[in-house]
Amino acid sequence: MSEVIYNRIAMLRAERGISRRELAEALGVHYQTVGYLERGEFSPSLHLALRLSRYFEVPVEVLFSIDPFPRIGAASNADAQRSA
């Protein structure tokens, strides 16, 4: 059984208005590879993970995790409750 690698590629891509094709071309991979990555159907090599990190200008741990990322709304609600 292989471990799931969670990622935020789709979220970052959407925030920046980048299509799967544009990201694939910038990385030198097939556009379907980006889809496989986003859905967790394919785990990137370390080299590809680092290239994605460089492309989005974020640390690799912002993009990938072995634990599920918290939902954005859940994090905002928790912060709001701590502030109250």
Number of residues assigned to the chain: 84
pLDDT attached to residue 4: 83
**Higher-scoring residue by pLDDT: 60, 81:** 60
Question: Residue 42 has what DSSP assignment?
Answer: S
**In this structure, is residue 39 part of a structural domain?**
yes
**In this structure, is residue 41 part of a structural domain?**
yes
- Whole-angstrom Cα distance, residue 31 to residue 49? 15
**In this structure, is residue 56 part of a structural domain?**
yes
Q: Which domain holds residue 63?
A: 6-83
Number of domains, the chain: 1
Cβ-proximal residues to 2 (8 Å cutoff; 6+ apart), any chain = 43
pLDDT, tens digit, for every residue of 7-63? 999 999 999 999 999 999 999 999 999 999 999 999 999 999 999 999 999 999 999
The amino acid present at 5, given as its one-letter code, is I
